[in-house]
Each structure stands twice: as C-alpha cells, then as structure tokens.
Amino acid sequence: MLDYIYFYFELFAFFVCLYTYKKLDRNFKVFLPFLAFIVIYEFANLKYWTLWHHTNAWCSNLETIIEIVIYTRFISALDTRRSYKKRVNIVLFIIVLFSFIDMIFIQGFFMLNTIAIVLQYSMLTVLVCLYYFKLINNVDESLDIIRHPPFWATAGILFYTLAFLFYYIAFSYMAYKQNYKFFILAQVIPNIACLILYSLLSVAFIYQYKKAKSIAAVIKT
Amino acid sequence: MLFKDEEIILLIIAGTAIVMLLGVFIVSFLLLYQRKQNKNVLEKEQLKSSFQQELLKTRMEIQEETLNHISRELHDNITQVLSFVKLNLGVLGRNLGEHEKARVNDNRELIAQSISDLRNLSKSLSFEHISVMGLIKTLEIETERVNRSGIINVSLLVDGDYYTLGEQRELVLFRIFQEALNNALKYAQADNFKMSLYYKEQMFNLTIEDDGVGFEPELLKDKGGSGLRNIVNRAALIGAEATINSSPGNGCSINLSLNPLIQETYVNGTYSNSPG
C-alpha cells in the first residue's frame, strides 16, 4: 500500500483541483487536465499497461517532456515581462529538442532518458529560484507570501526537482546494475518527491480558492 | 564493486538530503525575508503616519497661536480703542443739544454693540475660553451669538451627563464645529444648523447637521473639499472617527465618535502661548 502512496497524493491533488477549479485563475486551470493525465498515466503504469519491450521508460520519457512543458509555462506565466517569457520559451524549446535527441540518438527510446531529465529538472530549479528572486526584489507590500498560491506551487516544484536530481544522475549507472538497495531508494525518493509536490500543489489550489472566494465576498459587499 | 555501489547509494542519499535542505533554506529564507520586509513597510507606514500627524499638529498649533493673537488684539486693542471712542462720545454728548445728544447716544449704543460682538468673537477665537468655560458653555455662547445675527438658526442639543474630554480635545471639537458652521454659511446656504452632543459612559458622539444644498460625496476625495478633509484630519488627531454624509439637495451630516477613556493622541502638552 505504501508503495503507491505517490499515486494517492496525485489522486488527492486531482480532486482538490477539480473541487476548486471554478475559483482557480487561468494560470492554475491547466493543472486539471494535467493532473487528470498524470492520474491516468500512473494508473496505467500500476496496471503494467504501458509495458512495451519489457519497459515503461518510453512512456516516462514522454511524460517528463509534458511535465516540463506544463511546469515551465506555469512558472514563466508568473512573470509579466515579455522578454523573460520569450527567453524561457527558447530555453524550453532547446531542452525539449534535446530530450527528443536524447530519446532518438543518445540513450534510446526504450531507456530512461536521464540526461534529458536532469537537464529538465535543473532548468525548473533555476526557474523557481529566479521566481523567488523576483519575489524578493519586487515584492508587493500587500503580498502575504504564506497565502500566495504560486509560492506553494513553485515550492512543490522546487522540492520535487531537487529530490530527483541526484537520483536521476545515478540512475543510468545503478538501475542497470540491478542493485537491490537502489530499488529501495527508487521506491522511497519518488514517493517523497510526489508527496511533497502534490500536497503543496493542493495547498496552492486551496489558497487560490480561498483568495477567489474572499475577493468575491468583497465585491458582493 | 559492491562497496562502490553502496558508496554511490550513500552519495545519492546524502546529495538528495543536502539539496532538499538547500530547498528548505531557500523557501525559509524567502518567507523570513518577506516577513521582515512587510514589517519594514509597516514601520515605514507608521512613521509616515506619525509624521503626517506631527505636521497636522504643528499646523494646528500655528493656527491656534494666530487665532489667539488675533483674539488678544481684538480684546486688548480694538475693543479698548472703541471703549475710548465711546467714552469720548459720552463726554462730547454733554455739551450738545437734545437732538444731537440722542444721535450721539445712538452711536454710543452701536459702538457698545460692536464692543460686545468683538468680545464674543475674541472669545470664540481664543482657546483660553474653552479651557476656562468648557465645551458646552463655549458652544452655547457661540450658538447665541450666531442666532442673534439672524443669518442662520443654530440649535444645540446636549444629551447625557457632561464630562470633560480634556482641553485639547474640546478645542478640536469646537474648531470642527466652527469649520462646519463656516461651510454651512459659505457654501451650503443652510437655514438650520443642528449640533448634538451625546455623552455616554464609554462613548462620546457629536452630530452636526445642516439643511443646505449638500454636495456630491466625491467632493470629499477632491482637492475642493479641503475644509471637510480638515474636519476628518482634526478628528483623527484626537483619536476620533469622523463620517461625513451628504448628497445634493439633502444637506450634510457629520458624525464623530470617540472613546473618552482612551488617551488623546496629541494632547499631552499645552500650546506655546497657552496660559496653562
């Protein structure tokens, strides 16, 4: 049961997103189809429906590409500067292109593209840090960061990418050696990373919902 | 070789733990920094507000000093001169015939009336009278004086047991009354002006109403409503909250409430020219 804890948190985040969907702002609304996709994808993985040539790595590679696109677009949308968004889009394009190159020419379609994943997660970490840097410098006087939904969502993404960084760096070397202890690690780290990411995303949805509700109440009065 | 693999696993665990701690550090730093920044902004706002209050206080002190100076000039100089003129006319009247004597006496009465008016005006300008007579008495004198002129009908209602609000607060309330009366006369073309004071145990209420032409509530935000803003600012200075309501054709009402038990904010001293 504990092996699938990450799946329950994904499911939980999906239902929170579904419940709060109407009150979410445009930037957050993309999480509903994304989380629906994640839940379906993980469910298919659990049922071994994605096995092809005895591996689901091909599916993971595609899923991480979708993941990086969604998270990058979400973080870049938090910044209003058009030049910044343009630069982020260029970097995103290069990373996605490299992911396909890695998939086709470097590590292969049926192997987990860890080089591309490490690059993707490094980019996300940098983007979150840049967002925090912007928050520090241009912080709004009335902004209460504890109740600021994007802060929680980006914190989730930050912990998620940091948790996976060393894991994926060593993955290619360790996984194919069939080391039992590494398999234990492969169960624990994704569970912890998903637990943090999806619980913080849920917190972000709830704060967004509360914020929208309080604004609506003010307008009503 | 097995040992090397375990080393790598340890490295993964340690590395993951370190980067996660780094993440915790980044997030905590952001939270603490933002909290500190919010605190700084709040302190800055408080400083700004206290500076504004200090500025207002200084402005009012200068205004009071000027009014007191005018009041003294009226009392000690002009009324003395007029008294001397009245005396001279009295001496002059003794040597005149009955018809001229009657005309001189008429003039003497007019001068006496002017002296009395000037004395009342002097009293209303000076804060010394408020400290001596208190708010109610001063308002009564002022009401009587304005009613005697026949320009406007002023009524004063006092409800509850009178207690002193302190010299400075009463002075500010009196100036608010004067400002409102001035507005009613100058802009509102009001026929009636009503002032009500409610003395309750833990709350003092002042309501000023007129039946003038009224104004758009937006005027309060505009530069044009400086007299009205003055009322709000003066009220804030003594820790009171003033609400002004008006609409075209419906007159104007000013409601002011303050807690008499809470110490006044700017009122621990006396004015530079105060006798106290």
Inter-chain contact A185–B9, Cβ cutoff 8 Å? yes
The predicted pLDDT at position A139 comes to 61
Inter-chain contact A179–B9, Cβ cutoff 8 Å? yes
**Which residues are CB-contacts of A195 (< 8 A; sequence separation ≥ 6)?**
A5, A6, A9
- Beta strand B204-210 with B252-258: parallel, antiparallel or unpaired? antiparallel
Buried b (16+ CB within 10 A) or exposed e, B178-208: ebbbebbbebbebeebbbebebeeeebbbbb
B274 has a pLDDT exceeding 60: no
Q: Report which listed range, A48-57, A77-86, B212-221, is most confident.
A: A77-86
Closest approach of B29 to chain A, Cα-based (Å) = 10
Distance from C-alpha of A91 to C-alpha of A88, rounded to nearest angstrom: 5
The full set of domain ranges for chain A reads: 2-215
Nearest by CB to residue A170, choosing from B8, B33, B34, is: B8
Identity (one letter) of the amino acid at A33?
A: P
Distance from C-alpha of B253 to C-alpha of B247, rounded to nearest angstrom: 10
Chain A within 8 Å of B96 (Cβ-Cβ)? no
Identity (one letter) of the amino acid at B139?
A: L
Q: How many CB atoms lie within 10 A of CB A205?
A: 27
Tell me what ipTM this predicted complex has.
0.81
User: Measured between alpha carbons, how far is residue A207 from residues A147, A148, A149, A150, B98 in Å?
Assistant: 6, 7, 6, 9, 95
Write out pLDDT tens, residues B233-248: 888 888 888 888 888 8
Mean pLDDT for the stretch of residues B209-222: 80
**Which residues are CB-contacts of B30 (< 8 A; sequence separation ≥ 6)?**
A132, A135, A136, A145, A151
Query: Crossing angle for the helix pair A31-46 and A5-20, nearest 10 degrees?
Result: 150
Distance from C-alpha of B140 to C-alpha of B23, rounded to nearest angstrom: 71
Chain A residues within 8 angstroms (CB to CB) of chain B: 129, 132, 135-136, 139, 141, 143-146, 151, 155, 158-159, 162-163, 165-167, 169-170, 173-174, 177, 179, 181-182, 185, 189
**In this structure, are residues B245 and B216 in contact, taking their beta carbons and an 8 Å threshold?**
no
Inter-chain contact A189–B34, Cβ cutoff 8 Å? no
Please give the distance of CA A174 from its chain centroid, rounded to a whole number: 24
B91 has a pLDDT exceeding 80: yes
Inter-chain contact A165–B19, Cβ cutoff 8 Å? yes
Q: How many CB atoms lie within 10 A of CB B173?
A: 24
Write out pLDDT tens, residues A26-36: 899 999 999 99
The predicted pLDDT at position A157 comes to 95
User: Measured between alpha carbons, how far is residue B64 from residues A166, B57, B87, B172, B271 in Å?
Assistant: 74, 10, 33, 10, 8
Distance from C-alpha of A192 to C-alpha of A161, rounded to nearest angstrom: 11
Please indicate, yes or no, whether the overall pTM of this predicted structure exceeds 0.90.
no
Query: Could you give the strand order of the β-sheet that contains B241-246, starting from the edge strand earlier in sequence?
Result: B153-160, B192-199, B204-210, B252-258, B241-246
Which of B2, B16, B33, B37 would best serve as a mutation to test chain A binding (most A beta carbons within 10 A)? B16
B1 has a pLDDT exceeding 70: no
Query: Mapped to the 3 state alphabet, what secondary structure does A51-103 carry?
Result: CECCECHHHHHHHHHHHHHHHHHHHHHCCCCHHHHHHHHHHHHHHHHHHHHHH
Mean pLDDT for the stretch of residues B195-221: 86
Nearest by CB to residue A179, choosing from B5, B19, B30, is: B5
Distance from C-alpha of B9 to C-alpha of B226, rounded to nearest angstrom: 74
The predicted pLDDT at position B270 comes to 38
The predicted pLDDT at position B224 comes to 55
